[in-house]
Amino acid sequence: MPQYIVTLSDEEIQELSGLIRKGGKGYRIKHAQILLKLDRKPENKDWTYDRIKDAFGVSNGTIAGVAKRFVMEGMESALGRRQQQNRHHKVTGDIEAQICAIACSDAPEGCSSWTMQAIADELIRLEVVDYITDTTVCEVMKKTNLSRGL
């Protein structure tokens, strides 16, 4: 894991110290503390990744991520959380509507009501989705307060 060299200006040190004193979101304070200890000053020479990890209860990855974001993107990026990519929901409103329609329709032959797995299988059979679990169907049903047609 490459180590990024953090060099803070006096203004940045004052800003970070002020943030720690003022308070706010916990992760921002912790990231500010990490940056202050990573600063290349003679009084910080004893602050290794392991010592920072033990002092603030974070992982080496967190320390490296804060340092990298500071060096590459600046102070505000380092104080914030990493941007999460590819966060999308598989179940859209159209799929929810299909689940509701199936759940409210007549049960399959030989069954008294729809099961979550039967609804998931029906969605796949109708090619609404390529794959869905019964747990996902259950979450949608819970959210929509459906009684499965009872």
Residue 149 lies in a domain: no
As given in the structure block, the two tokens for residue 65 are 């991520």
Residue 22 lies in a domain: yes
Residue 84 lies in a domain: no
Based on the fold, state whether residues 107 and 73 are members of the same structural domain. Answer: no
Distance, CA of 50 to CA of 60 (rounded, Å): 7
Domain total of the chain:
2
Based on the fold, state whether residues 20 and 73 are members of the same structural domain. Answer: yes
Domain boundary residue among 57, 79, 101? Answer: 79
Contact between residue 74 and residue 48 where contact means Cβ atoms under 8 Å apart: no
In tens, the pLDDT along 124-148 reads: 999 999 999 999 999 888 887 655 5
In tens, the pLDDT along 43-90 reads: 888 888 899 999 989 999 899 999 999 899 888 888 887 777 777 778
Report which of 6, 28, 148, 149 is spatially closest to residue 81, judged by C-alpha positions: 28
> Is this model's pTM higher than 0.85 or not?
no
Kindly list the distances between the CA atom of residue 13 and the CA atoms of 8, 34, 39, 47, 76, in Å, as whole numbers in the listed order: 6, 12, 9, 16, 13
Based on the fold, state whether residues 24 and 73 are members of the same structural domain. Answer: yes
Residue 51 lies in a domain: yes
Residue 55 lies in a domain: yes
Residue 109 lies in a domain: yes
Q: Which domain holds residue 37?
A: 10-79
Residue 86 lies in a domain: no
Based on the fold, state whether residues 98 and 74 are members of the same structural domain. Answer: no
Contact between residue 78 and residue 116 where contact means Cβ atoms under 8 Å apart: no
